[in-house]
């Protein structure tokens, strides 16, 4: 077919009802402290890996809560598990275990 | 010395508390209420934030404080009020007349009419209700059903309806809606196990000492979701459920989801009764139409007119704690006025 140079843009909208909430449910069961995150960004600001990569725990948690999990695997791999974020979190989120639990969920659901 | 007489206009939380304190000082108090029952908005509520005690407990306490010095005039409205030889002469709608040496305006607020935010569909879509409607469901039915009689499995709360919104002429925060949404969200989760609850907010204003703990409980114990973003619009699906559109501003992406019931957190607006009295007395209002006291910090219960005092939400949105403290302060100002 002749290519006229037109394309259809994919929808940027978060379609909550069609999204994959398995990782969120797994986390809610095994590390429920991730629910109390109020997205202040202290974890990301203190993150050593975040200085050199685009790792942001704040963003990851937000995406998981909305069921947007396509990039979670590559994100989680960037974490060095140093635990600075856990020292900094004002809400007491068990951040290291959030990362470990995400990785377990990814294995469990073969994502 | 003859006993001084005070007229308290409005029989809600502020009026009841002011009347009880003035009566305790030994003054004669006329408590004038337009409805046939005292208690104002509080009596329409089931439970109160943050302790979640019954609203009826507060009303019972406030009513119980009134002694024999208080005369309650129910179903009465002010037709005219004028200064006459050091007294205020108040004409009521039953053509009776009261004389008082001081008057406290405790006329309260109205809930914002949610139908004015047409894009949210209140009064158009069956499953869009207000926070007051939900509270009535709690109080009268003890269960939550949507219009189709179903127990909702997903409920959304929309913060700041009629507050912080230039489009409706209300530039202010109504103070109580954020924590009320958190309280009601928890109550929905308690009543409907497994129900998913979402709060759509711009900022969460958890200003009270115990409010933050309630917010954390909502997230931690009940798994309530908080999405930062202000609803742009709601639509009705063919099955009666409500589709909401919002930007998840933390993800910087638009988001849509279906809810079985959408609750609009109506804010506080100045009411018609206050407006009438402001006009009769020639008082000042601010840019949001709330009654303006002589000085919001230093003379918050006084007006420019000697003998006319103000208490409660007629001057600004307030929680019940703040309203009661304001009413006690107004009662003391009346006492000072009489001693001068």
3-state secondary structure string across chain B: CCCCEEEEECCCHHHHHHHHHHHHCCCEEEEEECCCCCCHHHHHCCECCCCCCEHHHHHHHHHHCCCCCEEEEECCCEEEEEEECCEEEEEECCCCEEEECEEEECCCEEECCHHHCHHHCECCECCEEEHHHHHHHHHHHCCCCCCCCCCCCEEEEEEEECCCEHHHCECCCCCCHHHHHHHHHHHHHHHCCCCEEEEEECCCCCCCCCHHHHHHHHHHCCCCEEEECCCCEEEECCCCCEEEEEEECCCCEEEEEEECEEEEEECEEECHHHHHHHHHHCCCECCCCCECCCECCCECCECCCCCEEECHHHCCCCCHHHHHHHHHHHHHHHHHHHHC
**DSSP-derived secondary structure letter, A9:** P
Cβ contacts (< 8 Å) between B254 and chain A: which residues?
12-14
Task: For chain A, give the mean pLDDT.
Answer: 94
Please say whether the beta carbons of B62 and B16 come within 8 A: yes
Q: pLDDT tens, B262-280?
A: 999 999 999 999 999 999 9
How much helix, strand and coil, in percent to the nearest 5, is found in chain A?
A: 55, 0, 45
Cβ contacts (< 8 Å) between B216 and chain A: which residues?
36, 91
Residue A75 lies in a domain: yes
Residue A11 lies in a domain: no
Distance from CA of A13 to the nearest CA of B (A): 5
Q: Which of A56, A61, A109 is nearest to A79 (CA)?
A: A56
pLDDT recorded at residue A10: 84
Q: Into how many domains does chain A fold?
A: 1
| Number of CB pairs, chain A paired with chain B, less than 8 A apart | 45
pLDDT recorded at residue B2: 78
What is the Cα–Cα distance from B190 to B178, expressed in whole angstroms? 19
Distance from CA of B228 to the nearest CA of A (A): 10
Interface residues of B toward A, Cβ cutoff 8 Å, are 204, 216, 219-220, 223, 225-226, 228, 248, 250-251, 253-258
What confidence tier does B86 reach under pLDDT thresholds 50, 70, 90? confident
Q: pLDDT tens, A36-90?
A: 999 999 999 999 999 999 999 999 999 999 999 999 999 999 999 999 999 999 9
pLDDT at B1 over 70: no
Q: Tell me the whole-structure pTM to 2 decimals.
A: 0.94
Could you report the predicted ipTM of this complex, rounded to two decimals? 0.90
pLDDT at B91 over 70: yes
Cβ contacts (< 8 Å) between B204 and chain A: which residues?
38
Task: For chain B, give the mean pLDDT.
Answer: 97
Average pLDDT of the segment spanning B53-69:
97
Q: pLDDT tens, B182-194?
A: 999 999 999 999 9
Mark B278-292 as b/e (b = at least 16 C-beta within 10 Å): beebebebeeeebbb
Residue A14 lies in a domain: no
Q: Which residue of B has its CA nearest to A90?
A: B216
Of residues A14, A17, A33, nearest to B248 (C-beta): A14
Question: What percent of chain B has a predicted confidence (pLDDT) above 70?
Answer: 100
Of residues B223, B253, B255, nearest to A28 (C-beta): B223
Residue A5 lies in a domain: no
Sign of CA dihedral B36, B39, B41, B45: negative
Q: Which of B200, B189, B129, B212 is nearest to B159 (CA)?
A: B200
pLDDT recorded at residue A9: 86
pLDDT recorded at residue A1: 76
Average pLDDT of the segment spanning B156-175:
97
- Give SS3 for A109: coil
Of residues A12, A28, A65, nearest to B254 (C-beta): A12
Residue owning tokens 């997205």:
A39
What confidence tier does B140 reach under pLDDT thresholds 50, 70, 90? very high
Distance from CA of B256 to the nearest CA of A (A): 5
Q: pLDDT tens, B208-242?
A: 999 999 999 999 999 999 999 999 999 999 999 99
What is the Cα–Cα distance from B139 to A47, expressed in whole angstroms? 48
Average pLDDT of the segment spanning B105-117:
98
> Domain containing A79: what range?
22-108
Average pLDDT of the segment spanning B82-102:
95
Q: Is B41 left (phi over 0), alpha (psi -120 to 50) or beta?
A: alpha
Residue A76 lies in a domain: yes
């Amino acid at each position: 077919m002749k290519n006229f140079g037109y394309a259809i843009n994919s929808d940027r909208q978060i379609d909550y009802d069609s999204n994959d909430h398995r990782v969120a449910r797994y986390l809610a069961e095994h590390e429920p402290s991730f629910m109390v995150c109020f997205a202040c960004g202290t974890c990301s600001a203190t993150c050593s890996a975040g200085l050199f990569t685009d790792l942001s725990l704040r963003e990851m948690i937000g995406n998981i809560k909305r069921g947007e999990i396509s990039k979670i695997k590559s994100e989680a791999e960037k974490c060095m598990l140093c635990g600075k974020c856990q020292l900094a979190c004002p809400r007491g989120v068990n951040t290291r275990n959030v990362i470990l639990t995400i990785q377990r969920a990814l294995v469990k659901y073969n994502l | 010395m003859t006993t001084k007489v005070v007229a308290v206009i409005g029989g809600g939380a502020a009026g009841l508390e002011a009347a009880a304190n003035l009566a305790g000082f030994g003054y004669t108090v006329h408590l004038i209420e337009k409805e046939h029952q005292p208690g104002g908005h509080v009596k329409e509520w089931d439970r109160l934030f943050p302790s979640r005690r019954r609203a009826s407990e507060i009303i019972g306490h406030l009513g119980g404080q009134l002694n024999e010095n208080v005369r309650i005039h129910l179903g009465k409205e002010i037709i005219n009020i004028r200064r006459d030889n050091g007294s205020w002469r108040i004409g009521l709608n039953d053509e009776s007349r009261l004389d008082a040496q001081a008057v406290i305006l405790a006329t309260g607020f109205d809930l914002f009419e949610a139908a004015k935010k047409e894009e949210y569909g209140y009064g158009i879509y069956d499953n869009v209700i207000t926070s007051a409607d939900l509270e009535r469901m709690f109080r009268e039915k003890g269960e939550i059903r949507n219009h189709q009689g179903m127990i909702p499995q997903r409920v959304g709360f929309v913060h700041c309806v009629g507050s912080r919104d230039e489009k409706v002429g209300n530039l202010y925060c109504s103070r109580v809606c954020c924590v009320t949404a958190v309280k009601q969200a928890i109550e929905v989760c308690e009543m409907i196990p497994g129900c998913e609850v979402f709060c759509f907010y711009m900022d969460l204003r958890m200003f009270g000492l115990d409010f933050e703990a309630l917010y954390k409980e909502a997230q931690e114990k009940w798994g309530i979701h908080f999405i930062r973003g202000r609803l742009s619009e709601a639509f009705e699906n063919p099955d009666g459920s409500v589709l909401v559109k919002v930007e998840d501003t933390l993800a910087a992406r638009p988001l849509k989801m279906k809810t079985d019931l959408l609750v609009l957190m109506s804010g506080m607006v100045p009411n018609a009764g206050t407006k009438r009295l402001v006009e009769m007395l020639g008082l000042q209002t601010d840019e949001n139409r709330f009654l303006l006291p002589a000085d919001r910090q230093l003379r918050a219960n006084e007006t420019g007119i000697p003998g006319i005092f103000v208490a409660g939400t007629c001057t600004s949105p307030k929680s019940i704690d703040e309203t009661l403290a304001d009413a006690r302060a107004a009662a003391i100002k009346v006492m000072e006025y009489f001693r001068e």
